[in-house]
C-alpha cells in the first residue's frame, strides 16, 4: 500500500488478556519501528527491525512484550497478560535507508489500546 497500515485501529481488552497488534510497512522499506505513546506523553521507543539483522529490543518495557517481523514485511507486536498501564497508542513506522543518509519515518495511524 501507499502508507503504513496498522490494525486494529482500536482495541479494548480485559486486564490479563493477550493482544496482538499488526503493522504493514511501506513496500520496500527495510526498517520497521514500534513506539508507544501514552496519553499526553511523548513517543517511547520499543523495538526496531532492520533487514535480517537482530532487532534492537532495548525499549521493550518488560518480558510481556515481544515483536516479530517476517523478512521485510509485516510485523506483529504481542503484549501478554495486559495491564492497565499498557493502555496507550502503539505506533508503527517504517523507513528506507541509503548508506549514512536517513530520511525519517512514515508512521501508521496507530492502534489505540485500552485495558479495562
Partner 1 sequence: RKEVEQDPGPFNVPEGATVAFNCTYSNSASQSFFWYRQDCRKEPKLLMSVYSSGNEDGRFTAQLNRASQYISLLIRDSKLSDSATYLCVVNTLGSGNTGKLIFGQGTTLQVKP
Nearer to partner 1, 48 or 65 (CB): 48
CB distance 106 to 92 below 8 Å: no
Residues facing residue 32 across a β-bridge = 49, 94
Contacting residue, 2, 14, 100, 116, with partner 1 by CB under 8 A: 100
- Using the contact rule CB under 8 A, the part of the chain among 10-18, 19-27, 34-42, 61-69 near partner 1 is 34-42
> Does 66 engage in binding with partner 1 (CB under 8 A)?
no
Q: Look-up: residue for cell 502503539?
A: 90
From candidates 1, 28, 71, 99, binder to partner 1 by CB under 8 A: 99
- Residue 95 CB neighbours (<10 A): 19
DSSP assignment, residue 55? Answer: P
| Cis before 8? omega within 30 | yes
**Piece of 17-25, 33-41, 64-72, 73-81 that binds partner 1 (CB under 8 A):** 33-41
Q: Which residue has the cell 503504513?
A: 4
- Residues constituting the chain: 116
Residue whose CB is less far from partner 1, 28 or 104: 104
> What is the contact surface with partner 1 in residues (CB under 8 A)?
30-31, 33, 35, 41-43, 45, 48, 50-51, 53-54, 56, 91, 95, 97, 99-100, 102, 104-110
Amino acid at each position: 500500500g501507499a502508507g503504513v497500515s496498522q490494525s486494529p485501529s482500536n482495541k479494548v481488552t480485559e486486564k490479563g488478556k493477550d493482544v496482538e497488534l499488526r503493522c504493514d510497512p511501506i513496500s520496500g522499506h527495510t526498517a520497521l519501528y514500534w513506539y508507544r505513546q501514552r496519553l499526553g506523553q511523548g513517543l517511547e521507543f520499543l523495538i526496531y527491525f532492520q533487514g535480517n539483522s537482530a532487532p534492537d529490543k532495548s525499549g521493550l518495557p518488560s518480558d510481556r512484550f515481544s515483536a516479530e517481523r517476517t523478512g521485510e514485511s509485516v510485523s506483529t507486536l504481542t503484549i501478554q497478560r495486559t495491564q492497565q498501564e499498557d493502555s496507550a497508542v502503539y505506533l508503527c513506522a517504517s523507513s528506507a535507508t541509503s548508506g549514512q543518509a536517513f530520511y525519517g519515518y512514515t508512521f501508521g495511524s496507530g492502534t489505540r489500546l485500552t485495558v479495562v
